[in-house]
Amino acid sequence: MATLDLPALIDIHVHLREPGGTHKEDFSSGTAAALAGGIVAVLDMPNNTPPLVDEDTLGDKIGLASRSARCDFAFYMGASTDNAAAPTVGPHVVGLKMYLDETYGPLRVSSLPTVMAHFKSWPRNRPIAAHAEGLSSAIAIGLAQLYDRRLHLCHVSRKAEIELVRRAKEKGTSITCEVAPHHLFLTEEDAKELGSLARTRPPLGTQEDNEALWTNLEVIDAVASDHAPHTIAEKQSDDPPSGVPGLETTLPLLLNAVSEGRLPLEEVVRLLHDGPARIMGFKMPKDAHVQVDLDAKWPIRGEGLFTKCAWTPFEGMMVKGRVRSVSVRGAVVYQDGKVLAIPGSGRPLVLL
């Protein structure tokens, strides 16, 4: 058994579904899944019911997480049609999430004046995180340049998009980006087999898109799961929602890529530790590390996952590399398949 200690790993893009969707996931189950996946802190998205768009909904969500979360956490504020004038920026708000394209949930900003208003008013020291696909990515980059705002592009999935990010960085734009593991390890060919279980936004790309992400890995600042659980019944319904779970499979998939020689181990640390901390600007939990077994071979199975939805688009995939234990603030919170952290033991991340 070749064990190795990694530093505290962070997932900067998760949907823990509380409030409003706790039959899919909640803070207790979602953060248990995070720890089982070697993740010690998560940044939760605002497209809940009700969405997180103001002081009241922020306070409610902090209260829910403080009572139930097993790992550390922080939140994005959601951009809406009427909250640009006086942005809510509390100590636990890492950035503004702006939905420029169709996605699951009640938040989407489609008016150019509203988008401009958010770019004008949002504080410069915290990023605007955009769900932007295709042309919307170019619009977001252009507005970030015009208004001198930090822009973070979520789940970049297409060849043209990663090329845009590369060019923008070369021009000095203050831009970062993330890629989701399902876009790194699955393509539209897999979607033909998976059917509605592969339905996600952005959709799975072509083989060419996939290869472009790997070729431009140095341009990517983080890998984030975009953990978006739905029940199997919902995904198999006549109108299946978009989203796949990913908190428990992100690190094993990357470790497997290391074993295959596709990815240096140092890149795993950069994409799940260094990059997330740099993008969002927070202090890492003290005395936190993740012990992994690089030699462990095992099949990914939905059965036994800690996420409430209990399925995965990577069902049956053999991987090499497994999380053995997770420690936070000197205490073991996960050990060999058992989550030891109790609900409410997670803490709000401290922003710099």
pLDDT band per the 50, 70, 90 thresholds, residue 105 = low
| Phi and psi, residue 277, nearest 5° | -65, -40
Q: Please report the pLDDT score of residue 104 as a whole number.
A: 62
247 in Cβ contact with 313 (< 8 Å): no
* The listed CATH number (3.20.20.140, 3.20.20.70, 3.40.190.170, 3.40.720.10) that belongs to domain 3-351: 3.20.20.140
- 108 versus 9: the higher-pLDDT residue is 9
Q: Please report the pLDDT score of residue 320 as a whole number.
A: 98
Q: Mean pLDDT over residues 330-335, rounded?
A: 97
Separation CA 321–CA 57 (nearest Å): 39
Percent of the chain with pLDDT over 70: 99
pLDDT band per the 50, 70, 90 thresholds, residue 186 = very high
pLDDT tens profile 145-179: 999 999 999 999 999 999 999 999 999 999 999 99
Domain ranges of the chain: 3-351
152 in Cβ contact with 95 (< 8 Å): yes
36 in Cβ contact with 335 (< 8 Å): no
Side chain identity, residue 117: A
CA distances for 174 relative to 77, 100, 113, 151, 273, angstroms: 20, 19, 22, 6, 20
Q: Mean pLDDT over residues 264-290, rounded?
A: 94
**DSSP classification of residue 272:** I
Q: Please report the pLDDT score of residue 59 as a whole number.
A: 96
Q: Please report the pLDDT score of residue 110 as a whole number.
A: 87
* CA 124 from centre of chain: 22
Q: Please report the pLDDT score of residue 68 as a whole number.
A: 98
Q: Please report the pLDDT score of residue 245 as a whole number.
A: 98
Q: Please report the pLDDT score of residue 102 as a whole number.
A: 77
pLDDT tens profile 22-65: 999 999 999 999 999 999 999 999 999 999 999 999 999 999 99
Q: Mean pLDDT over residues 5-17, rounded?
A: 97
